[in-house]
A and B are shown apart, each in its own frame.
Chain A
Amino acid sequence: EVQLLESGGGLVQPGGSLRLSCAASGFTFSNYAMSWVRQAPGKGLEWFSTISGRGGSTDYADSVKGRFTISRDNSKDTLYLEMNSLRADDTAVYFCAKDRAVVVPAGPDYWGQGILVTVSS
């Protein structure tokens, strides 16, 4: 059974930093691209980052480019998201998601339960 478990969320002040982790199990982690998707309160899903299976390729939405960094440790079956210079509009539930493909995102097939990040003073 595929499982994705996010951790590391919480309350952070504007301008602060946070690191999210996503522990994966139930599949060969390195064989699939992984993405981060977020959902602001009452809003829709927003894709913002994907990393290829081996970690050699990353993509970011303009809304987070230069502030967020996606990475993975295939030896630990874990996906990471380093978030810096956080702003109030980064407040959202953050989902990690397993893609169906290795490199280009064909679309997620499994999702974590989500973790709330609140940026507020």
Chain B
Amino acid sequence: QSALTQPASVSGSPGQSITISCTGSSSDVGGYNYVSWYQQYPGKAPKLIIFDVSNRPSGASNRFSGSKSGNTASLTISGLQAEDAADYYCSSYRSSSTPLVFGTGTKVTVL
């Protein structure tokens, strides 16, 4: 029941673009388009920012975009802003008795 793999930290300067990867297997990320991304501030609940690989829910900034290639999904934050400093988690449906799995989480720092 291993978690999806994300880089522990990613940083960028204001205005830059950064990309966070989320690597799984053909049983989860690679096999289904049920990949979601969440933003979480300290002490707060996660907030959905991308669902089904590349769709943005109402209210999510259009600076967030998602994609997938093989067993790796990616979240790109363009035009980085101070308010983007947070933790980011991916999740995916997994074809097993444990059908939902989260990524290890990535801390984004705005320099």
B87-111 contact mask (Cβ, 8 Å, vs A): 1 or 0: 0010111000111111111000000
Minimum CB–CB distance from A100 to chain B (whole Å) comes to: 7
Query: Interface residues, chain B, CB within 8 Å of chain A?
Result: 1, 3, 34-36, 38, 40, 44-48, 51-52, 57, 89, 91-93, 97-105
Q: Are A114 and B45 in contact (CB under 8 A)?
A: yes
Minimum CB–CB distance from A2 to chain B (whole Å) comes to: 11
Contact A45-B99, Cβ < 8 Å, known A100-B51, A109-B57: no
CB nearest neighbor in A for B87: A44
Query: Interface residues, chain A, CB within 8 Å of chain B?
Result: 35, 37, 44-47, 50, 59-63, 95, 100, 104-114
A105, B94: Cα distance in complex, Å: 9
Q: Are B45 and A113 in contact (CB under 8 A)?
A: yes
A109, B89: Cα distance in complex, Å: 13
Residues of chain A within 8 A of B34, CB atoms compared: 104-107
A106, B93: Cα distance in complex, Å: 6
Q: Are B100 and A47 in contact (CB under 8 A)?
A: yes
Q: Are B102 and A45 in contact (CB under 8 A)?
A: yes
A95, B57: Cα distance in complex, Å: 20
A70, B103: Cα distance in complex, Å: 23
Residues of chain B within 8 A of A45, CB atoms compared: 38, 40, 46, 89, 91, 102, 105
